[in-house]
Amino acid sequence: MALPLKEIEEFKTKYEDIYEITIGDKEGEFSYTFIYRLIGKKEYNDIMDDEVDILQSQERVCNLCILYPEYDFTEGLAGIAEVLSNHIIHSSSLMQGQQVELLSNYREEMMIFDYQIDCIIHEAFPEYPIEEIGNWTIDKTMYYLSRAEYILKELRGVPLQYIPQEEAIPQEQQYQNTFHANKNDVSPSQMEDEGLKLIMENETKKGKQINTELSNVNDMMPELSWFASEENLKGEFD
């Protein structure tokens, strides 16, 4: 049963970014579709800090973040909680090395003129959030930028210098002796393997083939097309 658009909008208002994932067999006889939200860093750490086994941790992640439908992960099909929890954690950028990569991407954005001027305008006019400034028309943006430059340079004495993109500091220099990204990060497809293996063990006995491709939120639910896809590391920051 599809989730009514009204409830989707309520979830979107409450959690900003929500995602859909479907796990099923190729015959279409076995299919589970879940809508979930991201897990916060503190929520994740609280679960990981508790002295419980990995299965219980996975179930707790699912119980916390799965918005629809209600599902008993303790009594349900083996492997479902593992697949879902891995995708929730990955979508939330909490896998090892993801935060460094994400920060690197956003730092590279700051070498682009458009993003620099958003910050300059926000500094002069803090009542406008950066996200709102980014949605302005070019004419309005340039109008406020001209005023922001005057306020900062002439009235506050703040030196302004735009950084051309070609002058960006090489990433290896930015992170030398500071961050060490994990070169052996597990891909989403690799994360699924163990959980899907458990599901397959149950379903192959019934002569079914399991579909290991997880559906994109926009393909499965057109009404979710406004929401960020989990394949993009950008979403709530846009």
Rounded CA-CA distance 176/174 in Å is 6
Boundaries of every domain in the chain: 5-95+186-224, 99-175
Per-residue pLDDT tens for 146-159? 999 999 999 999 98
What is the DSSP secondary structure assignment for residue 31, as one 8-state letter?
E
pTM: 0.59
Per-residue pLDDT tens for 192-220? 555 555 555 555 444 444 444 444 444 44
Rounded CA-CA distance 174/84 in Å is 34
Per-residue pLDDT tens for 93-118? 999 899 899 999 999 999 999 999 99
Residues sharing a CB contact under 8 Å with residue 3, sequence separation 6 or more, in sequence order: 35, 68, 221
pLDDT over 90 at 185, yes or no:
no
> Which of 125-129, 138-142, 167-171, 234-238 has the lowest average pLDDT?
234-238
Which carries the bigger pLDDT value, residue 109 or residue 190?
109
Two structure tokens written together for 102: 């994400």
Per-residue pLDDT tens for 2-57? 777 888 888 888 988 899 999 877 777 778 899 999 999 999 999 998 878 999 99
The amino acid sitting at 94 is: L
